[in-house]
Amino acid sequence: MKYNLITILGPTATGKTGVAANLAAAIDGEIISADSRQIYRGMDLGTGKDYEDYFVNGVEIPSYLIDIEDAGVHYNVYRFQTDFIKVFEDIQSRNKFPVLCGGSGLYLEAVLKKYRLIEVPPNKKLRAELEGKSLEELSEILKSLKPKLHNHTDIETDRRAVRAIEIEKYYAENPQVDSYFPEIESLNVGIDFDRELRRQRITKRLKQRMEEGMLVEVQKLLDSGLTPEQLIYYGLEYKFLTLHIIGELSYDEMFRQLEIAIHQFAKRQMTWFRGMEKRGTKIHWIDGHLSMNEKVNAILKIANQ
């Protein structure tokens, strides 16, 4: 095989983890997660960790970059890239095959395109200047610094927007330093469902996670000392369930708004992946309707061409 990494990507609720685990089982591989929220301990149902998917024929497939930080800690693409390199090289050193799996487009692209990143320290003076500005004002400031805004999650909350402005200002004022990056030849495979079926899968999965206790999970995080603002920062499930718990949304309003938000999120993910293709990343799309064996065999066929 000419590849030293296989990347399984796709929007939410497409069964990426199961495919990655079954593929890893077939090629003596181990999984590296590329999910910006699954790195947090205690954020399980809301991030769709699906631990059972890592078991294939009763054997657990090793996985990394999941449950590595406490909720509330700020993790970013720079740290992900640094952690990915360590895990990637460790897996290779043991003659195992790394399988990257996730839907966080920026994290995936930072690895596949070998972004040269620098760690951006907090800028207290800038934060003080931005304090009190509306999300609309912050969005305009960010767009003035970065006209082509690819990552729209940067303007989902005031806190994210301030951090994004902080990063862009730092990049403008400090030349990027070149950093080491291992040679990567990745086969990139996307799991694809038609839009309507993807919507059905998202709704079904949301109902299932609510039944499994996602509201209890969010309450536990709040009881552990996290503030509502900290949880709202993580968006989607944590934003809307927190707003329900603190009394700003009824249960029905919360569910309806969250369902719409996840559908919109999946659409943005697909837009990002199409953008990756336009920027030169080859993605082989396979039909999500195929059986698990058919998916794995399709990937192996592509890998060995």
Is the Cβ–Cβ distance between 8 and 20 less than 8 Å? Answer: yes
In the chain, DSSP assigns E strands to 5-9, 29-33, 40-41, 55-56, 59-60, 63-64, 69-70, 97-102, 186-192, 284-287
Structure token digits, residue 242: 């927190």
Structure token digits, residue 180: 């080491």
Looking at the structure, do residues 298 and 193 belong to the same domain, yes or no? yes
Label residue 280 exposed, middle or buried (CB < 10 Å: 0-12, 13-18, 19+).
exposed
Length of the chain: 305
Percent of the chain with pLDDT over 90: 84
Is the Cβ–Cβ distance between 286 and 13 less than 8 Å? Answer: no
| 3-class state of residue 99 by DSSP | strand
Looking at the structure, do residues 213 and 163 belong to the same domain, yes or no? no
Which range (112-126, 192-206, 291-305) has the least confidence?
112-126
Which range (84-93, 162-171, 191-200) has the least confidence?
162-171
Is the Cβ–Cβ distance between 296 and 26 less than 8 Å? Answer: yes
pLDDT number for residue 121: 86
Residue 178 lies in a domain: no
Q: Between 88 and 170, whose confidence is greater?
A: 88
pLDDT of 149 > 70? The answer is no
Overall average pLDDT of the 106-124 stretch:
88
Looking at the structure, do residues 99 and 238 belong to the same domain, yes or no? yes
d(CA 30, CA 213): 29
Looking at the structure, do residues 294 and 245 belong to the same domain, yes or no? yes
Average pLDDT, the chain: 94
Given 138, 173, 208, which residue is the final one in a domain? Answer: 173
d(CA 186, CA 3): 6
d(CA 72, CA 70): 6
d(CA 213, CA 46): 10
Predicted model pTM: 0.82
Is the Cβ–Cβ distance between 22 and 7 less than 8 Å? Answer: no
pLDDT in tens, 16-75: 999 999 999 999 999 999 999 999 999 999 999 999 999 999 999 999 999 999 999 989
Is the Cβ–Cβ distance between 123 and 166 less than 8 Å? Answer: yes
Looking at the structure, do residues 207 and 72 belong to the same domain, yes or no? yes
Domain limits at 88? 5-117+185-303
Looking at the structure, do residues 101 and 34 belong to the same domain, yes or no? yes
Which range (33-37, 142-146, 240-244, 271-275) has the least confidence?
142-146
Looking at the structure, do residues 100 and 208 belong to the same domain, yes or no? yes
Is the Cβ–Cβ distance between 205 and 48 less than 8 Å? Answer: yes
How sure is the predictor about 152, in pLDDT bands with cuts at 50, 70 and 90? Answer: low
pLDDT of 151 > 70? The answer is no
Residue 45 lies in a domain: yes
Overall average pLDDT of the 124-153 stretch:
86
**Residue 19 is which amino acid?**
V
Residue 179 lies in a domain: no
Element (H, E) at 86: helix 77-93
Overall average pLDDT of the 182-199 stretch:
96
For strands 186-192 and 5-9, give the pairing. parallel
In 91-169, DSSP assigns E strands to 97-102
| 3-class state of residue 238 by DSSP | helix
Overall average pLDDT of the 183-202 stretch:
96
Overall average pLDDT of the 186-209 stretch:
96
Give Cα separations from 248 to 125, 218, 235, 245, 255 (angstroms).
32, 15, 15, 8, 13
pLDDT of 176 > 80? The answer is no
Give Cα separations from 291 to 19, 74, 201 (angstroms).
10, 38, 16
How sure is the predictor about 153, in pLDDT bands with cuts at 50, 70 and 90? Answer: low
Looking at the structure, do residues 99 and 209 belong to the same domain, yes or no? yes
Looking at the structure, do residues 30 and 151 belong to the same domain, yes or no? no
Looking at the structure, do residues 85 and 143 belong to the same domain, yes or no? no
In total, how many domains does the chain have? 2
pLDDT number for residue 39: 97
CATH assignment at residue 237: 3.40.50.300
Structure token digits, residue 259: 């369902």
